[in-house]
Amino acid sequence: MKAGMSLRFSKMHGAGNHFLVLDRRGGLPPPSPALVRALADPFTGVGFDQLLTIEDPPRAGVVARFGIWNADGSAAGQCGNGARCVAAWLRRAGVAGGERFLLDSPAGELEVACLADGRYRLGMGRPDFAPARIPFAAAVEAGEYELNTEAGRLRFGAVSMGNPHAVIEVPSAARADVARLGPALQARPEFPEGVNVGFAEVLAADRIRLRVYERGAGETRACGSGACAAVVVLARRGRVGRHVWVELPGGSLEIDWPHEDAQVLMAGPAAFVFEGQWSGPDPESQE
């Protein structure tokens, strides 16, 4: 073993979306893509959907900043379930003492409220439907787009929630061919930064069922920004209302979008699984 490494971490999950949390406060270097991949290996590492780093606040009034890394080592722009876990981690560490506080994410500031039932509510920002901001190569903004893919012609809505999302409405989320259609749409060059693909089944005006195939992670048990994306795309079409429960394989999230110009609010759980220490060779020395 060349240079050894030892890292303490917290394992957490939000509605089944699972994370490894590393404390980078004090100016520790960011994890390399090789280290992220080593930690993400479920057999020789820890296993997770995303790695979250707790970082020093960038300015006064913000409790902390956090970074997001996909299991394949790539950086991510937003993660609602991860943000709730960061909020819970900071509360337990005594860093965030109030019932309301601000976090800074790669996509900007997030407002956090600690709810009486133990859940956390986040202000996820305003959805952006402009193709260039998603980014998505389309001449004009539309409520629905169509693309030919290796899996056939797909119809979907598109929006940015700080990261790119495509939302496909399906008659049954359980029977949706997520493993085939998700990668097919992700592979399209019209999404230059890739895209998270949601498969949404409308159950009622205030309830949908959703599965999400994420960039750099594959299908996950929950996706907070994906839940927000599905609700705003469907609400714009009149398929659902402004207050919607989103049922994901790992649990339920509560989404509010009060009006077209409002930010999206997401409420859901955050849970600690275990604390651990990973010891192994420096992955950089193995590549």
Domain locations in the chain as residue ranges: 4-125+270-286, 131-262
85 token code pair: 């876990």
Q: What pLDDT sits at residue 286?
A: 55
Task: Judge whether 148 is annotated as a binding position.
Answer: no
Give pTM, 2 decimals.
0.91
114 has a pLDDT exceeding 50: yes
Interhelix angle 224-236/80-92, nearest 10 degrees: 140
Band of residue 98 on the pLDDT scale cut at 50, 70, 90: confident
Rounded Cα–Cα distance for residues 224 and 265 (Å): 10
Rounded Cα–Cα distance for residues 108 and 161 (Å): 11
What are 150-185's pLDDT values in tens digits? 999 999 999 999 999 999 999 999 999 999 999 999
Q: What integer is the mean pLDDT of 134-158?
A: 97
Burial 212-231 (b: 16+ CB within 10 A, else e): bbbbbbbbbbbbbbbbbbbb
Q: What integer is the mean pLDDT of 200-221?
A: 96
Q: What pLDDT sits at residue 281?
A: 73
Task: Judge whether 17 is annotated as a binding position.
Answer: yes
Band of residue 263 on the pLDDT scale cut at 50, 70, 90: very high
Give catalytic status of residue 114 as yes or no: no
Q: Residues near 164 by Cβ (< 8 Å), separated by ≥ 6?
A: 134, 135, 136, 158, 191, 193, 194, 195, 196, 215
pLDDT, the chain, mean: 94
What are 39-97's pLDDT values in tens digits? 999 999 999 999 999 999 999 999 999 999 999 999 998 999 999 999 999 999 999 98
Is it true that 4-125+270-286 and 131-262 share their CATH fold?
yes
**Which neighbouring-strand residues pair with 52?**
21, 68
Q: What pLDDT sits at residue 138?
A: 96
Give catalytic status of residue 223 as yes or no: yes
4-125+270-286 adopts what CATH topology? Diaminopimelate Epimerase; Chain A, domain 1 (3.10.310)
Task: Judge whether 70 is annotated as a binding position.
Answer: yes
Q: Where are the alpha helices (DSSP H) in 111-202?
A: 178-186
What are 2-39's pLDDT values in tens digits? 356 789 999 999 999 999 999 999 878 899 999 999 99
Band of residue 280 on the pLDDT scale cut at 50, 70, 90: confident
Strand pairing class (164-169; 196-204):
parallel
Burial 43-76 (b: 16+ CB within 10 A, else e): eebbebbbbbbbbeeeeeeebbbbbbbbbebbeb
Q: Which one of the listed residues 79, 85, 114, 228 is annotated catalytic? A: 79
CATH superfamily placement of domain 131-262: Diaminopimelate Epimerase; Chain A, domain 1 (3.10.310.10)
266 has a pLDDT exceeding 60: yes
